[in-house]
Chain A
């Protein structure tokens, strides 16, 4: 299994540009989520999905959209990039939403918005 994969690894955008961060998992996990990590801080939840066709907002959803058309893929869209969205973005998945389940994280996408 490849686990959780993310592309691209690095991206530089100009203010106002849009882009999609890709996330895929091959473990047949129901639950997927996106976090952002700003320098020197812990991770904050952006959006999450408990299954194909179901998404919901986390604690910092503004400026981001998600969709979950398949179990495997959970892309994160930046609608109009802003410098405040400069961060490292991590995608995570777990088998179910159970509190005892471990979450598997991807390697991250480092995004810089100029």
Chain B
């Protein structure tokens, strides 16, 4: 499986932007980049996904490098409710069971 690398943790102040980097240097042309987050004691929650172009939705923005070897999830104004572990995941053509391969993720701490 293609591997992703994320920092273990990041801190942010409330109402400031948070930029979460993800490296995926072995990505292939058909792999989708997905982000999920997991709030404490809850199941993972979909955040956003993209293939080549930058994407925006109500939760976040996803900036994808031109060579697709890295991407950045942007939370525009962090709130205390955004404190969670954020997972960058590659969705791979032919992966058994359409599975999401979860790595360690980035634990985001939001300070009031």
In the complex, how many angstroms separate the beta carbon of B6 from the nearest chain A beta carbon? 11
- 8 Å CB contact of B45 from A33, A43, A56, A105: A105
CA of A104 to CA of B36, assembled, Å? 10
Across the interface, which residues of A come within 8 angstroms of B46, CB to CB?
102-104
Contact at B44–A45, with CB atoms within 8 Å? Answer: no
CA of A105 to CA of B36, assembled, Å? 11
| Interface membership of A51, Cβ < 8 A | no
Question: Residues of B at under 8 Å CB distance from A?
Answer: 30-32, 34, 41-46, 49, 51, 87, 91-93, 96-105
The residue of chain B having its C-beta at the shortest distance from the C-beta of A55 within the complex is: B97
CA of A100 to CA of B48, assembled, Å? 10
Across the interface, which residues of B come within 8 angstroms of A45, CB to CB?
96-97, 99-100
Q: Which of A48-69 contact B (CB under 8 A)?
A: 48, 50, 56-59
The residue of chain B having its C-beta at the shortest distance from the C-beta of A108 within the complex is: B43
Q: Which of A99-114 contact B (CB under 8 A)?
A: 99-100, 102-108
Instruction: Evaluate whether A42 and B104 lie within 8 angstroms (CB atoms) in the complex, with A31-B98, A33-B97, A90-B43 already known.
Output: yes
Across the interface, which residues of B come within 8 angstroms of A103, CB to CB?
44, 46, 100
